[in-house]
Amino acid sequence: MSYPAGATTRTLLDGYRTTVRTKAMVLEARTLYRTRGFGTPPKITQGGYNPGGVAASAGTHDQDAMDDKISVLTSSTKKKAWERCNWEVGFAGWRRPYIAGLWGEHFHKLPKFGQLSTGADRQIFQWFQGDDALRSDRDYPGILSSGLASRSWEEYLDLYRSGHIDLAKTIACFKAGVGNSTNDIQQIQKRLNHYVLAGLTVDGIPGALTRAAYKLFQTRYYGIPSTDPDANGIPGEDSLTKLGFTVT
């Protein structure tokens, strides 16, 4: 079987075994969670390539897989948001409630089209059917209606981590509050709608709402107050790169 790039290259994330591809997916999900205003994302409680490590996992972590400690998230809204962020970047994932004597509350996720164990492959099959991937084989709310059931990490990259921006022209447009003959401003507005859920009209004009949305991205991504000079609502090379653009 052939795998996507990075899907079999081992690495560590927070001290847990995973792959280069899955690590990139997790980091992007964390970015989405933060920039959408939900705060600090949960930590990993179990990584992959851990055969026999946790009996309750039934072999699903023998190869690439991951669990997150969502019990630290303080509301169902935040838990659902974490689920959604992971679905968007290409994970199949399910919120698991606390079961006494079996496991703590966690979010179990698998990188679709990754290097998975036989047990995890069965769970992916159930995911595509909209099921909870447990022995109960019950429907899991939202999978099939999300529009994300079949999305891969590579499809996500094509949608949200590509594109080229002319830095000098873009800065000039933002400072003047006017558009230009390129589609650079539209690209930025679309990306702000994705990362901070700005709800901007994609009109190519960097007006007050677009600059405010860019400022919001800066504060949330970098974890800085709105009074910080770097939270100025004007694109820079680093922040545009964080939005997924190539900058010249």
* CA-to-CA dists, residue 128 to 64, 82, 138, 196, angstroms: 18, 20, 13, 28
Binned at pLDDT 50, 70 and 90, residue 198 comes out as very high
| Torsion angle of C-alpha atoms 218, 153, 137, 61, degrees rounded to 10 | -90
Binned at pLDDT 50, 70 and 90, residue 137 comes out as confident
Q: How many CA atoms lie within 13 A of 120 on its CB side?
A: 27
The proportion of the chain whose per-residue pLDDT surpasses 70, expressed as a percent, equals 100
Q: What is the pLDDT of residue 195?
A: 98
- Give strand pairing partners of 95: 107
Contact 96, 107 (CB under 8 A): yes
Say if 96 falls within a structural domain. Answer: yes
Q: How many independent structural domains does the chain possess?
A: 2
* Mean pLDDT, rounded, for 233-248: 97
- Do residue 126 and residue 179 come from a single domain? no
Query: Is the pLDDT reported for residue 1 higher than 90?
Result: no
- Do residue 183 and residue 108 come from a single domain? no
Say if 79 falls within a structural domain. Answer: yes
- Give strand pairing partners of 44: 68
* Mean pLDDT, rounded, for 186-194: 98
- Do residue 28 and residue 146 come from a single domain? yes
Say if 15 falls within a structural domain. Answer: yes
Round the average pLDDT of the chain to a whole number and report it.
Answer: 97
Nearest to 194 by CA among 165, 162, 222: 162
Q: What is the pLDDT of residues 10-42, one digit of tens each?
A: 999 999 999 999 999 999 999 999 999 999 999
* Mean pLDDT, rounded, for 166-170: 97
> Domain range spanning residue 170?
162-247
The proportion of the chain whose per-residue pLDDT surpasses 90, expressed as a percent, equals 95
- Do residue 137 and residue 209 come from a single domain? no
Query: Is the pLDDT reported for residue 86 higher than 80?
Result: yes
Binned at pLDDT 50, 70 and 90, residue 157 comes out as very high
Q: What is the pLDDT of residues 37-62, one digit of tens each?
A: 999 999 999 999 999 888 889 999 99
Contact 13, 30 (CB under 8 A): no
Among 109, 127, 150, the domain boundary falls at 150
- Do residue 17 and residue 91 come from a single domain? yes
- Do residue 209 and residue 239 come from a single domain? yes
Q: What is the pLDDT of residue 226?
A: 97
Domain of residue 212, CATH code: 1.10.101.10
For residue 123, the tally of other CB atoms under 10 A from its CB is: 22
* Mean pLDDT, rounded, for 198-218: 98
Cα(91)–Cα(87) distance, rounded to whole angstroms?
5
Q: What is the pLDDT of residue 51?
A: 92
Cα(36)–Cα(83) distance, rounded to whole angstroms?
13
Q: What is the pLDDT of residue 67?
A: 98
The β-bridge relationship of strands 164-165 and 246-247 is: parallel
- Do residue 184 and residue 146 come from a single domain? no
- Do residue 117 and residue 196 come from a single domain? no
User: Residue 88 has which token pair?
Assistant: 């968007």
Cα(146)–Cα(130) distance, rounded to whole angstroms?
10
Binned at pLDDT 50, 70 and 90, residue 2 comes out as confident
